[in-house]
Amino acid sequence: MELGRIGRRKYAEKKLTKAIVLKIEYLKVSGDYCFVECSPEFEDGTDAIPAFLPDMGYIHCLKRIHVGWHVIIDLSRTDVPDPEERARIKKSFPGDFPWELLSPEWKKIFAGGYD
């Protein structure tokens, strides 16, 4: 994976001085799909936010393709999507994505719990 890049989005705002690890806050897998919420930090446990990375929730839907996991939907953000954006995001999920993988927070978001 390219430094500072997850999926297609680039996150690092400047050159990282140390390796980043992802601290898993929520992880659920079903078949070839996975949902993960994580916080990036440096390997030594020091915070990479906000000096090197934006202060946001790092949230990804992954799919096992051939021999590895690939980000298929990047839900990383600083705020809750409005109804229009939420509808666009929902449409972007594969038809066979198991919705039970979502964290309780994202289930609430997709149910319109913050409208």
Q: Which has the closest alpha carbon to 33: 93, 110, 105?
A: 93
pLDDT tens digits, one per residue of 1-52: 333 344 455 667 778 888 888 889 999 999 999 999 998 888 888 888 888 8
Q: What b-and-e string marks burial along 83-94, b requiring 16 or more CB atoms within 10 Å of the CB?
A: eeebeebeeebe
Confidence of residue 75 (pLDDT cuts 50, 70, 90): very high
